[in-house]
Structure 1
Amino acid sequence: MILSPRRIVALAILFVVGGISVAEAQQKESRWEKTIAGFEAVDAKNPPQPGGIVFTGSSSVRMWDLKKSFPELQLVNRGFGGSEIADSTEFAPRFLIPHKPRQIVLYAGDNDIAKGKDAAAVIEDFQQFVNTISTALPETKIAFLAIKPSISRWKLWPTMKAANEGIAAICEADPKLDFIDISPDMFGDDGKPDPALFAKDGLHMTPAGYERWTARVRKTLGW
């Protein structure tokens, strides 16, 4: 069969687009696979005890010295830098649900908005995370750490604030959900993110920032 030039171009476009889609999927899988497999390896070596507390989410969790902040509690840190809410949902069956924790604390949404998602999409992603966990672990409580205002992403704060408000409303309606509003703790006297709480990149936090978070978590969850 002889193909017309137009047909050849159309097929070429489909091939390229399809190739990009496959490549993107492979890139996403490979990006997190090593990290998630690492979590699984740790759990296989030291099986988690049911009824614990797991923190998960993006780099703000990964970089948090939880043992220093909550020395009296048995906590597991399952943060993975750069992740979005949907990533924690997708891999929950592999690194969260097997723990059968009594409490999950999630910080995510920051990267989601930085990568272009609007508030509605972030709120929907949070609801999907809740649905996934609640279906598998109906007794597990979930706490969401509010998306923080930061120096480097200050222009995105209106969207982040809207996402926080929507997620707070979801949490308010469910006794097994808690919204930990750390955002007021991140501002200075000028109404902008306090530089003393942030590293040089204006995004990640200093120990002083984590002290604010620790105090807010303790107050909200009664720890």
Structure 2
Amino acid sequence: MGNKSNNSLFLGDSLTEFGNWEDLLPAAVIYNQGISGDLSSDVLDRLDMAINLEPAKIFLMIGVNDLAQEIPVGNIRNNIISIGVKLKGALPSSRLYLQSILPINPGLRVFQDGFDYSENIRLLNSLLKTECKDPFYEFIDLHPEFANEAGHLKGVYTTDGLHLNNAGYQRWAEILKRTGNF
């Protein structure tokens, strides 16, 4: 399979799905396969749809819903690495951009009451970053750009402590542009 040089695929959960990527990144053809509520295992199960698009660039952010389901960080990491391995095997001329998990705020109703997920998010991001030694992968560390001093999502970027508002999506797109991907 070849790839279509101007096509970019965004894979993930609601954070990806809710982004209006065509407007945020107008220089590229964008396919958005973000699905609200998806786990890393869900993305792994539906990769054939992504592969059939033959994108030149694949932007993956997944894992926050796994944390809400109390899936161990190591299992999430393994699923994400499996996604990368499958994509690399099917689309060797493409490039995978692993995007760090964004910070979230404590007290979200879908997450365990009173539990601060900041450390788990930092650990998962650290594990993912170490996997990006292969030229197929690039790690984009969004987390520091969105985290406040406590490691939580900055209020200026969120609607509810988890999901992004327009300013959050604008910031994300600026980072992608700054890293030379658009």
Shared topology, TM-score over 0.5?
yes
Report what 1:208 is aligned to: 167
Spell out, residue by residue over 1:136-172, the C-alpha distance to the aligned partner (whole angstroms, 9 max, x if none).
111111111110101136711111110110101101x
**Aligned residue type for 1:162:** L
CA contact (8 A) 2:102 2:153 kept: no
Report what 1:83 is aligned to: 38
Change (3 A) 1:189 1:170: closer
Distance 1:177 1:221 in 2: 14
Report what 1:108 is aligned to: 62
Change (3 A) 1:221 1:88: farther
Aligned-pair identity in percent equals: 23
CA contact (8 A) 1:118 1:159 kept: no
Report what 2:24 is aligned to: 69
Runs of 4+ in structure 1 over 6 Å off: none
Deviates more, 1:101-110 or 1:190-199: 190-199
Report what 1:181 is aligned to: 141
Distance 2:62 2:40 in 1: 5
**Structure 2 portions without partners, runs of 5+:** none
Whose strand proportion is higher, 1 or 2? 2
Query: TM-score w.r.t. structure 2 length?
Result: 0.88
Change (3 A) 1:101 1:62: same
Spell out, residue by residue over 1:87-115, the C-alpha distance to the aligned partner (whole angstroms, 9 max, x if none).
1111111x101111111101111111111
- Among 130, 139, 148, the alignment partner of 2:102 is 148
Report what 2:82 is aligned to: 128
**Structure 1 portions without partners, runs of 5+:** 1-48
Aligned length: 172
CA contact (8 A) 2:63 2:76 kept: yes
Matches within 5 A, 1:150-165: 150-151=104-105, 152=108, 155-165=116-126
SS at match of 2:161: coil
Whose helix proportion is higher, 1 or 2? 1
